[in-house]
């Protein structure tokens, strides 16, 4: 192994990447526009939800409840009649329709348990689930402050104080932006190294390399470090410029520690890209393999849903995937400010998986050359 040869071959890969405007545009899009739109375009937090109110009581308490639905969570409430409620829901005009019954305030003061009806258009899933909880909390809080009962609605005298750690605003944008960068690290590293190898075959330059005094290890290592470096640099710039700059999302932990973990993770995923390229052989086949590999990796690794909610067998199988440990590492560092004393098990797992993947990919690459 000659480090000078690996370095110059890697520089050759970077020059080849510069001659691929489509790939460069894809890299820039993935770490800029895609991150921004993922965080801003479809937030799971409630935003400008249309709500209508049927006020059959017309009391100070009912008006107080109606006045409590404020932007940016809700649009200004529309006061409608009972006859209009079903028609507006059928037409999809309102996501929520709150029906306050007659004598609501007087029944409450008398110690009775009046019921407010909340109609929800459940076809709007992102707003229906979170919005129902918002409305229940708002009504309970206004009733409690009015003095008829406590905010919990049970009269037990026990209150609940919420302490939201690591995301005090409960802002979905904080989660979506960082997690999109993290998932792009896995996706881009596999794609870039795989396409770099397939590009050599399509251009016929693999034969040129084979007649030179080069070993398969040197050729593969050059592709891994060069493409990994591209992903590493763009990841760092995305976190600084897009996440912290444009989106104003705070990063709690050490970026240097996160980048060190990303470098180890890139060794595994870049080797995975080489292995897939040796299996595929052509770019269309490589694209089909990516669909089979990337989707399970992203969905089952804990990037979108907690691993604890998955079946035990899936959790066990996904321990062999490098991005499972990378996501645990990244969330601990970037969200919770964890240090090396907390995330060292993930570093060990990533290093072991990277070594196994690299050896397997090197053997596949040698067989493909033969």
What whole-number percentage of the chain has pLDDT above 90?
A: 35
What is d(CA 362, CA 356) in angstroms, rounded to the nearest whole number? 10
- Model pTM score: 0.75
Give the three-state DSSP class for 166: coil
In this prediction, residue 154 carries a pLDDT of 43
In this prediction, residue 163 carries a pLDDT of 64
In this prediction, residue 279 carries a pLDDT of 87
pLDDT at 196 over 90: no
pLDDT at 22 over 60: yes
Residue 79 belongs to what H/E stretch? Answer: strand 78-79
**Token digits of residue 266:** 């890139």
Give the pLDDT band of residue 349 (cuts 50, 70, 90): very high
The runs of H, that is alpha helices, within the chain are 3-18, 21-31, 33-40, 60-67, 82-90, 104-109, 125-146, 172-203, 205-210, 216-237, 255-280, 283-300, 312-317, 322-334, 340-369
pLDDT at 21 over 70: yes
In this prediction, residue 208 carries a pLDDT of 72
Residue 55 belongs to what H/E stretch? Answer: strand 51-55
- Residue-wise pLDDT for 298-334, tens only, equals 888 888 777 877 888 988 999 999 999 999 999 889 9
What is the separation, in whole angstroms, between the first and last Cα of the chain?
Answer: 20
What is d(CA 282, CA 171) in angstroms, rounded to the nearest whole number? 43
Show the CA angle centred on residue 228, arms to residues 224 and 234, nearest 5°: 160
C-alpha distance from residue 299 to each of 1, 54, 306, 319 (Å): 38, 42, 10, 14
* Edge-to-edge order in the sheet of strand 96-100: 78-79, 51-55, 96-100, 117-120
- Residue-wise pLDDT for 232-289, tens only, equals 999 999 999 999 999 888 888 899 999 999 999 999 999 999 989 888 878 888 989 9
* CATH architecture classification, 51-146: 3-Layer(aba) Sandwich (3.40)
- Residue-wise pLDDT for 243-259, tens only, equals 999 988 888 889 999 99
Question: Peptide bond preceding 93: is omega within 30 degrees of 0, i.e. cis?
Answer: no
**Token digits of residue 168:** 């005090």
Residue 96 belongs to what H/E stretch? Answer: strand 96-100
**Token digits of residue 304:** 């979108």
What is d(CA 307, CA 297) in angstroms, rounded to the nearest whole number? 12
209 or 131: whose pLDDT is higher?
Answer: 131
| CATH code 3.40.1710.10 region(s) in the chain | 51-146
What is d(CA 73, CA 131) in angstroms, rounded to the nearest whole number? 9
């Amino acid at each position: 192994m000659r480090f000078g040869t690996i370095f110059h071959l890697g520089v050759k890969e970077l020059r080849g990447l510069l001659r691929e405007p489509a790939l460069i545009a894809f890299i820039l899009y993935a770490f800029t526009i895609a991150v921004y739109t993922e965080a801003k375009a479809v937030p799971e937090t409630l935003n400008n939800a249309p709500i209508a109110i049927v006020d059959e009581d017309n009391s100070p308490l009912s008006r107080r409840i109606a006045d409590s639905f404020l932007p940016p969570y809700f649009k200004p409430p529309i006061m409608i009649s009972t006859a209009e409620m079903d028609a507006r829901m059928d037409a999809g005009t309102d996501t929520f329709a709150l029906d306050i019954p007659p004598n609501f305030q007087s029944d409450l003061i008398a110690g009775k348990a009046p019921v407010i009806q909340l109609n929800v258009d459940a076809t709007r899933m992102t707003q229906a689930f979170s919005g129902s909880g918002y409305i229940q909390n708002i009504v309970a809080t206004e009733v409690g402050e009015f003095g008829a009962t406590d905010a919990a609605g049970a009269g037990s005298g026990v209150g609940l104080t919420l302490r939201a750690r690591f995301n005090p605003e409960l802002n979905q944008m904080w989660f979506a932006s960082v997690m999109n960068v993290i998932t792009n690290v896995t996706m881009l590293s596999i794609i870039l190294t795989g396409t770099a190898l397939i590009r050599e075959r399509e251009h016929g330059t693999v034969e040129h390399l084979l007649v030179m005094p080069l070993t398969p290890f040197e050729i593969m290592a050059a592709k891994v470090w060069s493409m990994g470096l591209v992903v590493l640099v763009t990841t760092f710039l995305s976190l600084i410029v897009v996440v912290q700059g444009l989106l104003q999302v705070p990063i709690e932990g050490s970026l240097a520690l996160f980048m060190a973990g990303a470098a180890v993770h890139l060794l595994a995923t870049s080797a995975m890209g080489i292995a897939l390229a040796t299996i595929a052989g052509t770019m269309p086949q490589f694209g089909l393999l990516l669909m089979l590999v990337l989707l399970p990796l992203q969905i089952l690794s804990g990037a979108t849903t907690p691993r604890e909610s998955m079946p035990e067998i899936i959790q066990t199988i996904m321990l062999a995937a490098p991005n499972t440990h990378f996501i645990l590492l990244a969330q601990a560092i970037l969200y919770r400010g964890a240090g090396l004393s907390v995330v060292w098990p993930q570093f060990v797992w990533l290093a072991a998986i990277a070594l196994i993947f690299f050896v397997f990919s090197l053997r596949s690459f040698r067989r493909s050359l033969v």
